Amino acid sequence: MLALPEVEVVRRDLEKEIVGRRIKDVEIRPGSNSMKIIKRHGRRKEFQDLLLGARVDKIARLGTWLVLELDSDRALVIDLGDTAHVLKTSASEAIATYTHIVIGFTIGGQLRLIDPKLTGEVFVTPTAELGTLDGGLPALIDPLGA
């Protein structure tokens, strides 16, 4: 599992790159392994429909989770687990092995989730439910929080 400071660095980098960008397309790569990353959603289309057309308004961190707050009153939550990482790339860059999710923006390339051992998870939740994590457990106090 990534340490809090590492996740905070990722958050700050992504904040510079994708806040204000609108999601143009969402690709969950072929194969059943990619479905394990979005296991809270029954189908690829359900996950995609929740994100398409939304704008990234803010990127926060809840513990070791990255939270992309969207203008649609939803949030994209990324748990990097032990082995996952996210990359901001150009759309023309070759897709790396173990890439499970590719999110394209109307301006400014793509965000890719790469997870060789499938330890991460990505899901969309209503913003109002961000005060709870993992099916209703209260969010922990964040030692790096303001």
pLDDT the model gives residue 138 = 47
Q: How far is CA 55 from CA 74, 95, 103, in A?
A: 10, 23, 12
141 has a pLDDT exceeding 60: no
pLDDT the model gives residue 64 = 86
State the Cα–Cα distance between residues 58 and 110, nearest whole angstrom.
17
What six digits make up the tokens of 83? 């082995």
Residue-wise pLDDT for 44-62, tens only, equals 999 999 999 999 999 999 8
Structural domains in the chain plus CATH codes: 4-124 (3.20.190.10)
Query: Of 1-5, 27-31, 59-63, 133-137, which gets the smallest average pLDDT?
Result: 133-137
CB under 8 Å to 121, separation ≥6 — which residues?
Answer: 37, 38, 39, 40, 78, 79, 81
Give the three-state DSSP class for 14: helix
Report residue 120's pLDDT band, with 50, 70 and 90 as the boundaries.
Answer: very high
User: Is residue 57 within 8 Å of residue 19, measured between CB atoms?
Assistant: yes
What six digits make up the tokens of 113? 């989730």
